[in-house]
Amino acid sequence: MTKVVLTGGCLCGAIRYQTSASPFAVDYCHCSKCRKHNGSIVVAWMDFKAEQVTWLQDKPTEYASSETGRRGFCNKCGSTLTYGDTRYRQYTTLTIASLDDANLVQPSYHIYLDDKVDWLEITDNCKRYAQGVS
């Protein structure tokens, strides 16, 4: 993927961000926690080094969804924006849906397929993992 500056934010515009690089990993997550937090059966995420993401306007509020998982959202409109792990604060994971142009980034693999809803049929050529990727 070529280097491109990506911009995005929440639905109401209170939170805005910009990246200084392309994501190093892009995936679809099928875990039940992502489904519940996002209100969708699958969530598309993109991973960056933390220093590659600049918060231009406000920052997400974090919710501790597990012992180490932190899910970021806008405390005004509720938009899901980030996922983070307290053990790996050097990374920032953003939702592709929060991009101004979600067509600029495409996932290359699926994670937590053991948790996928049964009625969803996956027909793409992306790599597949039963659980997460270490």
d(CA 71, CA 83): 5
Class of domain 7-128: mainly beta
Percent with pLDDT over 90 in the chain? 94
Q: Is the pLDDT of residue 2 over 60?
A: no
SS3 65: coil
Q: What is the pLDDT of residues 13-26, one digit of tens each?
A: 999 999 999 999 99
> Residue 64: pLDDT band by 50, 70, 90 thresholds?
very high
Burial class (CB in 10 A: 0-12, 13-18, 19+), 32: exposed
Phi, psi (degrees; rounded to nearest 5) at 77: -110, -15
Q: What is the pLDDT of residues 94-127, one digit of tens each?
A: 999 999 999 999 999 999 999 999 999 999 999 9
Contact (Cβ atoms closer than 8 angstroms) between residue 94 and residue 8: yes
Burial class (CB in 10 A: 0-12, 13-18, 19+), 65: middle
Domain ranges of the chain: 7-128
Q: Is the pLDDT of residue 50 over 90?
A: yes
d(CA 133, CA 63): 23
